[in-house]
Amino acid sequence: MSSLLAAIKNIIKNPVTDLITYSKGNNRANNMGSALETYIKDVFCHSFHKTNPEKDDLYSQTFSYIGNLNNPPDIIIKNSDAVEIKKIESISSALALNSSYPKDVLHSHDPRITHSCQSCEETPWKQKDVLYTVGISPKGTQKLKIIWFVYGNCYAANQETYKRMSDKITNGINEISDIELSQTKELAKVKKIDPLGITDLRVRGMWHIENPLKVFKDIAPVDEKSQFTLHALMLEEKYNSFEKKDREALEKIQNENFVIKNVSIKSPNNPAKLLKARLISYVQ
């Protein structure tokens, strides 16, 4: 079974910073966003230098679901994590999550995922850990400068935090008199705005969250002079849940640019509480 630890080992052994050149060589992508997705799939499948049919076969063996912008998540690793891939152009840019609020975990009853996603595995699943994967490619370049992996429970509060706020907005709109509302998965939809009754108003959330470079700058400072930087952050219990062979393979890496550290991070649900975590870093 694939895992983040195996993927990190693959990146260290196969660092690729010019993603457009890499993906064009595989006829898989012609922009940085889709090129990053192709590369992330390949690091989880160890499918570098494979033909497209060979890649498709490895993708099918490794992933139980592959989504897209309108059908999240981007990837589900079989019997393992849900992966969301985001590409930004600046270390100060926020992540655009569109109508989906940040997730500590992915629930199978989430109304924003498809039935195909909900039923993608032989054994029905109820929730999956969410792995946010953020690639930073400076504007005007084709280079992957930084890649950040961070698990949702290190980064996002529980869903009630976000749902409570969106419900307040929806309830506030519902209390407005003399408007006609229709059922929607968005915050609200107001019908017949104009005298002819031909104009509707959709009220939808556009969620943003600060990128992990800014959120975790105290434990993983950015070295802008480096050619390539990788950081991965997870709770200690998550690190210990990976297969022993994957942990040992990573811990045996002899490279002065690579380190695994014990760190403490603020709980996304209560900043007064510190959580034990592992930070994996590779800086060239």
Radius of gyration of the chain (CA): 21
Q: Is the pLDDT of residue 16 over 50?
A: yes
Q: Element (H or E) spanning 5, and its range? A: helix 4-13
Query: What's the mean pLDDT in 143-159?
Result: 95
What are the tens digits of pLDDT across the range 168-222? Answer: 998 998 888 888 888 888 889 999 999 989 999 998 888 999 999 999 999 999 8
Report phi then psi at 268, rounded to 5.
Answer: -65, -20
Give Cα separations from 172 to 169, 176, 214 (angstroms): 5, 7, 33
- Output the pTM of the full model: 0.91
Give Cα separations from 247 to 3, 90, 241, 252, 260 (angstroms): 10, 32, 9, 9, 11
Q: Element (H or E) spanning 200, and its range? A: none
Identify the CA nearest to 110 among candidates 140, 130, 132. Answer: 130
**pLDDT value at residue 29:** 44
* Average pLDDT, rounded, for the chain: 91
* Pairwise CA distance, residues 99 & 69, whole Å: 11
What residues contact 194, with CB distance under 8 A and at least 6 apart? none
